[in-house]
Structure 1
Amino acid sequence: MPRFSVIVPAYQVQAYLSECLDSVLSQSFSDLEVIAVDDGSPDACGEIIDAYAARDPRVKPLHLAENRGLGRARNAGIARAAGEYLIFLDSDDTLTPGSLAAVAERIEATGGPDVLVYDYERTYWDGRRVRNHLAAELSEWGRAPFRLTDRPGLLRVLMVAWNKAYRREFVAAEGFAFPPGYYEDTPWTFPVLMAAGSIATLDRVCVHYRQRRQGSILSTTSRKHFDLFDQYERVFAYVADHPELAFWKPELYRRMVDHYGVVFTRPGRLPRGSHGEFLRRARDHHRRYRVPKARLRRRHLLIRFGLHRTFRALRYAAAARRRLRELVLGPARAGRRAALGLHYRIQLRLPLRPERAVFAAEGGYGGDPAALEEAMRRYAPHVRTTWIADPAHPRPLPAGPRLVAPGTAAHWTALARSTYLFGDAHLTRGLRKRDGQILVCALGGTPLGHTGLDLQERPGAVPGSDPVALLRDVDQWDHVVSGNRHSTLTWERVHPGRWTALEYGSPRTDVFQRATPDEVARLRATLGIPAGKVAVLYAPARRDHRRTQHLPLDLPKLARGLGPRFVLLARGHGDVPVEGARVIDVSAHPCPEGLCLAADALLTDQSPLMFDYAGLDRPIVLHTGDWAAYAAVRGVYVDLPGAPPGAVGRDEDELVDVFTDGTWNGARAALLRAAFRERFCPWDDGRAAERVVRHIVLGRTEPSPVVPLGERRPVRSAMANAVHPARSPLVSVPHPAGPRPVTWPAEHR
């Protein structure tokens, strides 16, 4: 008996069927069968199913002589299924990587419930992905399994069959089957949830629910939407046959009326001239199934009295209010922009404040500007500092700097009258730098992928890059913070201007040299890293050439291969599949430096974070699975596979071997890391921000002495003794050649 029977009905979906089947057959959890039902499809669905069956014995083809509809096709699949659990998947949707393994583990952890409910997200043809807005109902906190009475909010989650796993014996014992019709999921899902003796939830996106541009059944204009009335009659008939479920009638009534309201108001569903008839049918059901003293909303009252013209008039009135608001707010916004522009021009004519500094960074407080602001308060306390950041940013500002919101009068006043301006490219948007102002640009670490003017040759890498606007900003820079010679030479070529390179190190990595073991322990506890575990920070690069961001690695598979000794801290740019306590999603953590301090090792591919992490002298493992594709699309400045910062793996299996056989923290990995540090971390001794502040504010052009690489003692990880008992062999690495305050001509060659 396989663990899962995945039932995939197919009708006129030849363009999507292969992707759907691939998403199931490529799952890391392989104890399954796929019941692929050709529902009399006139296109090539049947041939596609047979081709997959010939290649993979887990695919069980089932050809129906004529089209029976989605519900009856599922019933045919149920009759052929042999798995312990039934899973339904529409043939234009897909399973997310690792989802079946997560479902199997959750079923095991909750004692084999009758029904397991998991999450989904809508995927649109233009690349957008939107998670179910009721995902909070699928929280895994609290007792599990449970009855529906313990979690009635599950009835508000989209009433579909494909976001659940059903114990087959439970389905057979209760005699559940799909009825014919358009809305066959409704009389299946409500009774199943109400009858289930045990339910569990999985707070994980397991299904990508494709929102087709055209061709979706429910988006078709048709009288078949009147089928909804028959389906709710089946739901209430089921309750009538099971008196013990009668207490669910008020909730079912509310769900029914809300559902009718959605179909009635959704454009493009009901044919022209049928809205009155639909609302009259809804009124009849309202009177038949209404429970006395049930709480009513305005929509319920309109349906109760069948006031379809009033309903429509209210909709038009709401649309008119929205339009009026746009007409009023549009000029108001334009007026506000004009007023702020005038305010900025006035401030530009007022005297500069010599002891004021303003800081800004993309995304809010953090990075090099944050380290520079801290150094400013420490080494030049007479200078008052201001941060331009959204007050709602998750990383709060420390005590000291003044916070102003972007786009406010205070923001433009700070830009116009502060003598010192520190920030990344985010700071220069709309800026008109004055004589006497000093603008220090922090470009975000060591460049790996092409940037600046080099992006002109690769328009697919970062669409919409504007070299003219870039050079206009570059002409306002006075200094650029650089962490190493490689960065300096690259920035000077791709951002040509009169600025001066301050090759003093990466300020944001100063914390690596100052942090204490107690601070590391607190960070690990905050992130939920269990004691005694080796924490591996997985930080893949963002693929700017892709519209949607998918993790390059199957994290559940990798976590299971690594075993219980390891924990993955996943910092992705999209969905991160959580694998129990073995994969912790840290994507929303506002401080990358804190994640680096908490981790015992870094696993990455093309992320520039590796250049910062190397300063910690902790193991780095490189994933090179799509290096060739990334290099071809984006272009690269460093041959990472040729000179990696540590051990290398091409896929999950090789990476598991790297970690389990000790290669990741062995002697060869230490030698590679030593060479990498020597090249990219010559100044990162904890005083980079101090050197910049002393140069810019205090006028000391000779930088502070740099601590040799072999003498640096960055804070060790919590598992230092078990992970890497010896540091990389850097004993007598020479000092950097000296500061790089070199002025280059302004011609844009």
Structure 2
Amino acid sequence: MPPRLTVVVHGPEVRGRFAECLESVERQVTSGRPGVEVVVAGTDAGARRLAGEAAARDPRFVSLPLPDSTPDAEARRAGAERASGEWLLFLRGKDRLPAGALRAATGATELCGAAVESRPADVVLMDHVRTTWHTGAAPSPDGPLLARAGHAPVPPDARPELLGVAPLLGNRLVRSAFWAAHHEVLAAGNERYTAYALLLVAGRVACADQIVLEDRVERAATLPPPTADGPFGLIEPYVAADSLLTSLHRPAALRHRLYDLMTHEWLRVISARTLPGDAAEEFFRAASRAARACRPPGHERPEGLEGVRQSLLEAGAYRGYLRLAALNDRRRGLRAGVRRQRRKLGGKVRARRYQGALERPLDPRLAVFSAYWDRGVACNPGAIAEELRRLAPHIHPVWVVSGARVPLLPPGTDHVVPGTPRYSEVMARATYLVNNVNFPNAVVKRPGQVHVQTHHGTPLKCMGLDQIPYPAAAKGLNFRQLLRRVDKWDYSVTANAHSTRMWQRAYPSGYTELEHGYPRNDVFYAADAERVRAVRARLGIPPGARALLYAPTHRDYEATWSPRLDLARFAERLGPDTVLLVRGHYFYSGAPTPLAGLRAAGRVLDVSAYDPVEELALASDALITDYSSIMFDYANLDRPVVVYADDWEVYRRTRGVYFDLLAEAPGPLARTEDELAEIFTSGAWNDPASAAARTVFRRRFCEFDDGRAAERVVRRVFLGTPEARLPPVLPLHERTPAPTPEEAVRR
């Protein structure tokens, strides 16, 4: 059998990058990735030596020595000719394969490369991350576009917007037969040209928003001397791609889209103002000539400033462009000034109002609650507020809720919207402030105020200061401000000793740990058979059906969430008596697909917007998750938990984790969709080995969750009950979780 995928690594060894590139490939190939071949086309002595060493270690590596300074296009052509795989992935020697990339790539070829009306995909577009000397693995902007496009192969003219995906070759999987049939055209230019040519020539294109490339951008000072064409090298690839498109007689929409992309790129170079005056004008003139030559008949310019800039480029009006740029700079400055003044004035009014409220005494009967950045009544704060009504009805709860979420509040919920006069009043005068995230920086911690941080999960992934070594996770975080917010905490609620230790190191400050359990998990011990039956009936789960809750987590390195499973295929393999409850927004459209039919039949239910999530747990027979903290909460039910860790290496590397989930999973663990299906069809999901692993997991992570967590928090914080007089935590073997769906039917 020929390999499924051939990775063509090409280029010279410069500053150790080629060695790092090969290491990134070799780690994944030697870890047991089947159906992968690697052709290494080295173009200098160092690269040739490394290629030979890799081939000597592993027969799946093929060394293809090429003469010094062989152009990249020739190296790619030679590598493709030597390849025997069904699909090709070109990788420059300066770049790397992120962990899990080969798994994602081979999976994408299986998912996207299947024939649709006898027309399989020729090219599969995938996502990438970009690393510079000062940033690591920054997400690309392509994720949402790839997610919306979906897996189904379509003609490129059906989705001309796909031309906007970064013009790289490492983010494109190419069917070998397609490359062989068109290699003279595809390999006729540089990488940018070939990236576009692949999409223009392809009969069908598919998309997958998983990451297969780490594009490494070197500092200018470390690069070889610039070529003679300099920025002018950005003109010819587009002109050649336009010429190719014209010869192919493709629909006009593709040419119009390509034209907007090329003029936008040329104008970006000009507006960056990195070229000296004469060179800038010369580039503008050259781009202007190319724009006039490539402008499609009947092309409508973009609206607004972009369209004006495009018209000036076409007219060759360099002086006019400079005047427009200067005018626009002044206009932006004026608008920014007006916005700053408005914000400043509004901020002063709110600050004065808040300051006035701060001078009034605290209200000992007032408590402010918020959850998930003002989303509404939920999570641990919601459970605490409910218990407060029972044990301390003299304390009045007020919820902070964003304006858009107000209509979703339970009837009669007293609330305030941030920025309003009453918001300033309650934030300044409440004695108790409870949140599962942090309150804004501007909130003043007054003497006598009590801040309760409940958190919203047990940490597997790194949090707080522990995120600093992981750029994708730390992006946009100000850790000094974070610590100032943490310093306002009086209490930190934890569900287990592991959480206590991790919060202490991630959020170092002087607060008191409340090892009382998570109040939101009390329901897992309080719910009876009637409630389990009622939730299943609300969801439309047929009596006797097996309901599996699929709840994956967010990934910092992906722009949008998409399922890591082919839900239609997975549901079919599990059979008609299984219902999938999918907790997450997926990109399958409402078009006639196998998934649409399964949704109509009630076998796949999108429960992404269903709240509270605890009810979904009660309704399900088992949980499928990856690295979500829901596994720690769900374990309280003592029902099967199956972990699907298809990209564990990528997640661990980009996010950071506190323990090895693969070694300490709460139940069966799958690395592929086939393995996951086998767990459920074979019965391994609910066998004695699964129960034994779950017992160990529950003992460690359900340590303080016994159904009375909210009571302990309310008595300790709001009623001042000493720690020694609080209800003791019930030992694990004495707890009785809510009945399973099967037990609920019998009661």
User: Is this a same-fold pair by TM over 0.5?
Assistant: yes
- TM-superposed CA distance for 1:10, in Å, is 1.2
Q: Do the aligned partners of 1:194 and 1:245 also contact (CA within 8 Å) in 2?
A: no
Q: Do the aligned partners of 1:29 and 1:101 also contact (CA within 8 Å) in 2?
A: no
Report the CA distance shift for 1:77/1:30 in structure 2 as closer, same or farther (over 3 A).
Answer: same
- TM-superposed CA distance for 1:108, in Å, is 4.3
Q: Do the aligned partners of 1:368 and 1:442 also contact (CA within 8 Å) in 2?
A: yes
Q: Determine the structure 1 residue equivalent to 2:127.
A: 120
Q: Do the aligned partners of 1:75 and 1:177 also contact (CA within 8 Å) in 2?
A: no
Q: Do the aligned partners of 1:122 and 1:132 also contact (CA within 8 Å) in 2?
A: no
Q: Do the aligned partners of 1:423 and 1:440 also contact (CA within 8 Å) in 2?
A: yes
Q: Aligned to 2:162, which of 154, 158, 183? A: 154
Q: Do the aligned partners of 2:77 and 2:183 also contact (CA within 8 Å) in 1?
A: no
Q: Residue 356 of structure 2 aligns to which amino acid in structure 1?
A: I
Q: How does 1:106-505 map to 2 (within 5 A)?
A: 106-111=111-116, 113-125=120-132, 126-127=135-136, 129-133=138-142, 135-136=144-145, 139-141=148-150, 144-178=152-186, 183-186=190-193, 188-214=194-220, 223-239=229-245, 241-243=247-249, 249-268=255-274, 270=275, 272-296=277-301, 297-325=307-335, 333=343, 337=347, 339-353=349-363, 355-361=365-371, 363-365=373-375, 366-376=378-388, 384-391=396-403, 397-406=409-418, 409-423=421-435, 426-427=438-439, 432=444, 439-442=451-454, 473=488, 477=490, 505=517
Q: Residue 285 of structure 2 aligns to which amino acid in structure 1?
A: R
- TM-superposed CA distance for 1:389, in Å, is 4.8
Separation (CA, whole Å) in 2 of partners of 1:369 and 1:189: 51
Q: Aligned to 2:637, which of 597, 609, 616? A: 616
Provide the secondary structure at the position in 2 that maps to 1:113: coil
Report the CA distance shift for 1:590/1:293 in structure 2 as closer, same or farther (over 3 A).
Answer: same
Q: Do the aligned partners of 1:649 and 1:658 also contact (CA within 8 Å) in 2?
A: no
Provide the secondary structure at the position in 2 that maps to 1:426: coil
Report the CA distance shift for 1:341/1:249 in structure 2 as closer, same or farther (over 3 A).
Answer: closer
- TM-superposed CA distance for 1:280, in Å, is 1.9
Q: Residue 147 of structure 1 aligns to which amino acid in structure 2?
A: P
Separation (CA, whole Å) in 1 of partners of 2:18 and 2:390: 62
Report the CA distance shift for 1:466/1:79 in structure 2 as closer, same or farther (over 3 A).
Answer: closer
Provide the secondary structure at the position in 1 that maps to 2:285: helix
Q: Aligned to 1:37, which of 28, 38, 41? A: 41
Q: Do the aligned partners of 1:537 and 1:599 also contact (CA within 8 Å) in 2?
A: no
Q: Determine the structure 2 residue equivalent to 1:4.
A: 5
Cα deviation per residue 1:341-383 (whole Å; 9 max; x = unaligned)?
4333311233545553211346444431122223445666675
Q: How does 1:485-634 map to 2 (within 5 A)?
A: 505-514=517-526, 516-518=531-533, 521=536, 532=546, 534-535=548-549, 564-565=573-574, 593=614, 596-597=617-618, 600=621, 611-619=632-640
Separation (CA, whole Å) in 2 of partners of 1:138 and 1:658: 27
Q: Determine the structure 2 residue equivalent to 1:730.
A: none
Q: Residue 106 of structure 2 aligns to which amino acid in structure 1?
A: A
Q: Residue 10 of structure 2 aligns to which amino acid in structure 1?
A: P
Q: Determine the structure 2 residue equivalent to 1:103.
A: 108
- TM-superposed CA distance for 1:48, in Å, is 1.7
Cα deviation per residue 1:283-316 (whole Å; 9 max; x = unaligned)?
2233333334321221221111112232233334
Structure 2 residue runs of 5 or longer lacking an equivalent are: 302-306, 585-593, 596-602
Q: Determine the structure 2 residue equivalent to 1:16.
A: 17
Q: Give the TM-score normalised by structure 2.
A: 0.72
Provide the secondary structure at the position in 2 that maps to 1:347: helix
- TM-superposed CA distance for 1:259, in Å, is 3.3
Provide the secondary structure at the position in 2 that maps to 1:345: helix
Separation (CA, whole Å) in 1 of partners of 2:198 and 2:457: 54
Q: Do the aligned partners of 1:37 and 1:61 also contact (CA within 8 Å) in 2?
A: yes
- TM-superposed CA distance for 1:173, in Å, is 2.8
Structure 1 residue runs of 5 or longer lacking an equivalent are: 573-579, 727-749
Q: Determine the structure 2 residue equivalent to 1:57.
A: 59
Report the CA distance shift for 1:651/1:285 in structure 2 as closer, same or farther (over 3 A).
Answer: closer
Report the CA distance shift for 1:522/1:694 in structure 2 as closer, same or farther (over 3 A).
Answer: farther
Q: Aligned to 1:48, which of 30, 47, 50? A: 50
Q: Residue 473 of structure 1 aligns to which amino acid in structure 2?
A: K
Provide the secondary structure at the position in 2 that maps to 1:65: coil
Q: Which deviates further from its counterpart, 215-224 or 9-18? A: 215-224
Provide the secondary structure at the position in 2 that maps to 1:67: coil
Q: Residue 387 of structure 1 aligns to which amino acid in structure 2?
A: W
Report the CA distance shift for 1:150/1:694 in structure 2 as closer, same or farther (over 3 A).
Answer: same
Separation (CA, whole Å) in 2 of partners of 1:645 and 1:700: 37
Cα deviation per residue 1:559-607 (whole Å; 9 max; x = unaligned)?
99999559999999xxxxxxx9999999999976467556655689998
- TM-superposed CA distance for 1:414, in Å, is 1.2
- TM-superposed CA distance for 1:100, in Å, is 2.0
Cα deviation per residue 1:397-437 (whole Å; 9 max; x = unaligned)?
44443444556654332122234432357249555556775
Q: Do the aligned partners of 1:512 and 1:615 also contact (CA within 8 Å) in 2?
A: yes
Q: Do the aligned partners of 1:118 and 1:206 also contact (CA within 8 Å) in 2?
A: no
Report the CA distance shift for 1:227/1:418 in structure 2 as closer, same or farther (over 3 A).
Answer: closer
Q: How does 1:635-646 map to 2 (within 5 A)?
A: none
Q: Do the aligned partners of 2:157 and 2:251 also contact (CA within 8 Å) in 1?
A: no
Separation (CA, whole Å) in 2 of partners of 1:394 and 1:350: 28
Report the CA distance shift for 1:648/1:417 in structure 2 as closer, same or farther (over 3 A).
Answer: same
Separation (CA, whole Å) in 1 of partners of 2:389 and 2:115: 53
Report the CA distance shift for 1:9/1:690 in structure 2 as closer, same or farther (over 3 A).
Answer: same
Provide the secondary structure at the position in 2 that maps to 1:94: coil
Q: Do the aligned partners of 1:140 and 1:203 also contact (CA within 8 Å) in 2?
A: no
Among the aligned pairs, what percent are the same residue?
A: 31
Q: Do the aligned partners of 1:118 and 1:205 also contact (CA within 8 Å) in 2?
A: no
- TM-superposed CA distance for 1:169, in Å, is 2.5
Q: Do the aligned partners of 1:114 and 1:170 also contact (CA within 8 Å) in 2?
A: no
Q: Residue 714 of structure 1 aligns to which amino acid in structure 2?
A: P
Provide the secondary structure at the position in 1 that maps to 2:278: coil
Q: Do the aligned partners of 2:139 and 2:558 also contact (CA within 8 Å) in 1?
A: no
Report the CA distance shift for 1:15/1:480 in structure 2 as closer, same or farther (over 3 A).
Answer: closer
- TM-superposed CA distance for 1:507, in Å, is 1.0
Q: Do the aligned partners of 2:712 and 2:726 also contact (CA within 8 Å) in 1?
A: yes
Cα deviation per residue 1:664-687 (whole Å; 9 max; x = unaligned)?
744476467557757875774545
Q: Residue 79 of structure 2 aligns to which amino acid in structure 1?
A: G
- Point out the structure with the larger helix share: 2
Report the CA distance shift for 1:11/1:488 in structure 2 as closer, same or farther (over 3 A).
Answer: closer
Q: Do the aligned partners of 2:706 and 2:729 also contact (CA within 8 Å) in 1?
A: yes
Provide the secondary structure at the position in 2 that maps to 1:257: helix
Q: Do the aligned partners of 1:537 and 1:602 also contact (CA within 8 Å) in 2?
A: yes
Report the CA distance shift for 1:326/1:48 in structure 2 as closer, same or farther (over 3 A).
Answer: farther
Q: Determine the structure 2 residue equivalent to 1:735.
A: none
Q: Do the aligned partners of 2:13 and 2:19 also contact (CA within 8 Å) in 1?
A: no
Provide the secondary structure at the position in 2 that maps to 1:93: coil
Q: Do the aligned partners of 1:118 and 1:138 also contact (CA within 8 Å) in 2?
A: no
Q: Give the TM-score normalised by structure 1.
A: 0.71
- TM-superposed CA distance for 1:147, in Å, is 1.7
Q: Do the aligned partners of 2:358 and 2:429 also contact (CA within 8 Å) in 1?
A: yes
Separation (CA, whole Å) in 2 of partners of 1:155 and 1:596: 42
Cα deviation per residue 1:233-257 (whole Å; 9 max; x = unaligned)?
4334434544566785444443433
Q: Determine the structure 2 residue equivalent to 1:743.
A: none
Q: Aligned to 1:66, which of 43, 65, 68? A: 68
Separation (CA, whole Å) in 1 of partners of 2:461 and 2:239: 60
Q: Residue 524 of structure 2 aligns to which amino acid in structure 1?
A: F
Q: Do the aligned partners of 2:143 and 2:209 also contact (CA within 8 Å) in 1?
A: no
Separation (CA, whole Å) in 2 of partners of 1:567 and 1:93: 42
Report the CA distance shift for 1:497/1:38 in structure 2 as closer, same or farther (over 3 A).
Answer: closer
Q: Do the aligned partners of 2:549 and 2:582 also contact (CA within 8 Å) in 1?
A: no
Quote the RMSD (CA, aligned, Å): 5.7
Cα deviation per residue 1:55-103 (whole Å; 9 max; x = unaligned)?
1222222222232322222122223233322322222333441222222
